[in-house]
Every structure is written in structure tokens, then in C-alpha cells.
Amino acid sequence: MKILITGGAGFIGSHTIRLFVNKYPQYQIFNLDSLTYAGNLENLQDLETKTNYTFIKGDITDQPFIENLFKKHSFDGIIHLAAESHVDRSIENPMQFVLTNVIGTVNLLNAAQQQWAKDSEGKRFYHISTDEVYGSLGKEGYFTEETSYDPRSPYSASKASSDHFVRAYYHTYKLPVVLSNCSNNYGSHQFPEKLIPLCIHNIKNSHPIPVYGKGENIRDWLWVEDHARAIDTIFHNGKIGETYNIGGQNEWTNIDLVKLLCGIMDRKLHRKSGTSEKLITFVTDRKGHDLRYAIDSSKLQNELHWKPSLQFEEGLEKTVGWYLENEDWLNKVTSGEYRTYYEKQYTTR
């Protein structure tokens, strides 16, 4: 099997690539990534010597490039993770989200459709999406696969649009697609613009912890390696044309989560209990801030027998441990130094 994974230098992509390269030595795994600010090849340094792994630098919005790539390789599967992924950036610059998330996805769909037009037996285009496409919940209820789409940020609108295109290619051209919509992920190698690594970084440096609004918004957190395992399960066993929701059954208000994190950091940094909580600073709320996301993942659990493996407290301990042990990674990412890694490592080869 030749599998193209897009966005493999990012957070979830790097965990997915690692799982596939190590678990399936008989597969050829191609990582296509344009290395935006969120793409960091140091995330995959441990795989550089693996013979079943190839990195390709390229942009999914570049149609001729994508066409040529598919002329050069015939892929059996595509796992599409490349995206602009940060809600706050989407509020600042929606167009970049339209380009990457919508146009980039349609470029890949076209290339796959052309490649598999004559014979799509055993082929599969797997699109990775988010629970944010379903909108915002009140205090009750869960998102199921039947929940109507109601995206409310430019990020979720662009992801919703890409999901619609993927389903349209299934219905119109019989492209063998499968989709999943996942809740918030946490774990190692996440870019420190997202809540958990941002808090860890700020607490470590005794900087204020910015909590939007009153910190009452609720997210359902999933250990990133559990997401990668779900991707493996759905890629291999998911039914063509179907969607699977993935979630952690693990809801936290932002303020409770930040306080939990503060306690873990105090302990790990040998600071007096309560030291880090003093850094909590309530700041202006995000525009259009969705109140609550919560996933019902019973379809995936019942039909494909996946379930989350880690309790949140344990996962958060591990996550904090990783960021503290990998201070160098965090420093390079926050200083921008990681951006020179590709030049040093790849352009001289």
C-alpha cells in the first residue's frame, strides 16, 4: 500500500505518521506538508531513517503540483489532515482558511478521482475533520453523526465546506471516501498557540495565563494518540461513505482545566501550591466563542470497537512531562528557530 498523509508535520499528523510508519512496515508512507508555521519536521526526526517513510514538501493549494504528484505516484489511500487549524487565526485571516481547507481539499479530491476513475477497488480517501462543524451546544446534549452542520467560525465554516465537498464526491463520482469529526486533541508536539501548550509555556515562564471571557466554555478533550488510533481503525475498517465521530467523553470548562494544569505544574516545578493559579488572567472573549462541544462517539465504539485509552489526569500529567522534558522543542517553536530545520536537514540532500 502506498499511502499519502497530508499535514504530517503538524500536531495530529505527526502522531498519525509515527503510528503508521512503525505499525505497518510493509506500507510506503508519504508525508505531504508545505511546512507552514504549524509544520515542524523535528516532530518526526525519529522516523528519518525509516525506509518506508518519505517526506514531500508541497502545498495542497498548488493544483499543478498536486496533479504532477499523482502522476508520479499511484496512491492506494489518502489520509487528509493538512489544514489551517487555529480558530483565532481564522478570525484574523479567513481567506487563508478558504484556500487551504476548501480549495486544497478539492484539489486532492480531483487528483484522487482522476487517479481512481477506472478502478477504485480497495482505494480510500479519508478526510479528517472536527466537531466544530456542528456548531455550539447548550448545557445538554451531544453531537452525533446526524447533527446538522452549523459552523460559526471561519475555521469551522471552512472545515464544514470541505466535508461537504468530500461527501459530494462520494455521491457524484462514487469516490470511496470516509470521514471523521473529532473533538479537541491534546498531547505532545502541539503548537503552543492552542490552549494547553500555551498555558504550559506561560506557567513555566511565569507569564500571565490568558483565559477568554469567564472561562466557562466547555471542550471535550482527547489524547492525541487515541485520535491516531481511531484514524488507523477508521482508515482500515470504516465503511465507505460513512462518517464517524471521535471524542474523549471528557468535558472540562476552560477554567477548571487551567486550574488542574496549574496544580500539575506547581508539583512538577516544585513551586508552592497555588503559585501558578495566580497567573490566571481573564481577557476579552474570542469573537463568536462557541460555548460547548461534546461528542457522542458510540457509533465508532460499537461498530469499530475503538475507545479512548487514557484518563484525562493521566494524559495531562504525561503531556506536561513531555513539554518540560522537551524544553528545547518548545524554545525553538516559540522563537521560530524550528523553521530553519528543514533548510538544514533537507535542502542539502
Question: In whole angstroms, how close is the CB of 274 to ligand NAD at the nearest point?
Answer: 29
Q: For strand 280-283 and strand 2-6, is the pairing parallel, antiparallel, or unpaired?
A: unpaired
Please answer whether residues 158 and 215 qualify as being in contact, where contact means their C-beta atoms are separated by less than 8 angstroms.
no
Q: Which alpha helices (H) appear in the chain, and where do they start and end?
A: 11-23, 63-72, 87-92, 94-97, 105-115, 154-173, 195-204, 224-237, 254-268, 298-304, 312-325, 327-335, 339-342
Place of cell 480517501: 125
Measured distance CA(222)–CA(220) in Å, rounded: 7
Task: Select from ligand NAD, ligand TYD, none the partner in contact with residue 211, using the beta carbon and a kind-dependent cut-off of 5 to 8 Å.
Answer: ligand TYD
Q: What grid cell was written down for 240?
A: 465507505
> Which one of 53, 126, 134, 155 is the catalytic residue?
155
Binding of residue 200 to ligand TYD (CB under 6 A): no
The 8-class DSSP code of residue 143 comes to B
> Which one of 59, 84, 131, 163 is the catalytic residue?
131
Task: Select from ligand TYD, ligand NAD, none the partner in contact with residue 35, using the beta carbon and a kind-dependent cut-off of 5 to 8 Å.
Answer: ligand NAD
Q: What grid cell was written down for 332?
A: 525553538
- Nearest-CB residue for ligand NAD: 10
> At residue 63, what is the residue type?
Q
Task: Select from ligand TYD, ligand NAD, none the partner in contact with residue 104, using the beta carbon and a kind-dependent cut-off of 5 to 8 Å.
Answer: ligand NAD
Binding of residue 211 to ligand TYD (CB under 6 A): yes
Query: Is 24 part of the annotated catalytic residue set?
Result: no
Please answer whether residues 56 and 34 qualify as being in contact, where contact means their C-beta atoms are separated by less than 8 angstroms.
no
**Candidate ranges 8-16, 163-171, 191-199, 317-325; the one touching ligand TYD (CB under 6 A):** 191-199
Task: Select from ligand NAD, ligand TYD, none the partner in contact with residue 217, using the beta carbon and a kind-dependent cut-off of 5 to 8 Å.
Answer: ligand TYD
The 8-class DSSP code of residue 147 comes to S
Q: What grid cell was written down for 53?
A: 517513510
Question: In whole angstroms, how close is the CB of 243 to ligand NAD at the nearest point?
Answer: 13
Residue 213 or 241 having the CB closest to ligand TYD: 213
Please answer whether residues 54 and 31 qualify as being in contact, where contact means their C-beta atoms are separated by less than 8 angstroms.
yes
- The string of DSSP codes covering 219-231 is EEEEEHHHHHHHH
Query: Is 132 part of the annotated catalytic residue set?
Result: yes
Question: In whole angstroms, how close is the CB of 286 to ligand TYD at the nearest point?
Answer: 6
Query: Is 146 part of the annotated catalytic residue set?
Result: no
Task: Select from ligand NAD, ligand TYD, none the partner in contact with residue 279, using the beta carbon and a kind-dependent cut-off of 5 to 8 Å.
Answer: none
Task: Select from ligand TYD, ligand NAD, none the partner in contact with residue 19, using the beta carbon and a kind-dependent cut-off of 5 to 8 Å.
Answer: none
Measured distance CA(80)–CA(345) in Å, rounded: 25
Binding of residue 173 to ligand TYD (CB under 6 A): no
The 8-class DSSP code of residue 139 comes to S
Point out which residues bind ligand NAD (CB under 6 A). Answer: 6-7, 9-13, 33-36, 38-39, 59-61, 81-85, 100, 104, 128, 130, 159, 182, 184-185, 191
Binding of residue 87 to ligand TYD (CB under 6 A): yes
Task: Select from ligand NAD, ligand TYD, none the partner in contact with residue 198, using the beta carbon and a kind-dependent cut-off of 5 to 8 Å.
Answer: ligand TYD
> Which one of 33, 84, 132, 290 is the catalytic residue?
132
Question: In whole angstroms, how close is the CB of 81 to ligand NAD at the nearest point?
Answer: 4
Please answer whether residues 35 and 336 qualify as being in contact, where contact means their C-beta atoms are separated by less than 8 angstroms.
no
Question: In whole angstroms, how close is the CB of 80 to ligand TYD at the nearest point?
Answer: 18
Cα 104–chain centre separation: 16
* Binder among 16, 34, 184, 233 for ligand TYD (CB under 6 A): 184
> At residue 178, what is the residue type?
V
List phi, psi (to 5°) of 113.
-60, -40
Q: What grid cell was written down for 98?
A: 478558504
Contacts (Cβ under 8 Å, ≥6 apart) of 13: 5, 6, 7, 31, 33, 81, 82
* Residues binding ligand TYD (CB under 6 A): 87, 184, 194-195, 198, 210-212, 217, 219, 254, 286
Q: Which residues are catalytic?
A: 131-132, 155
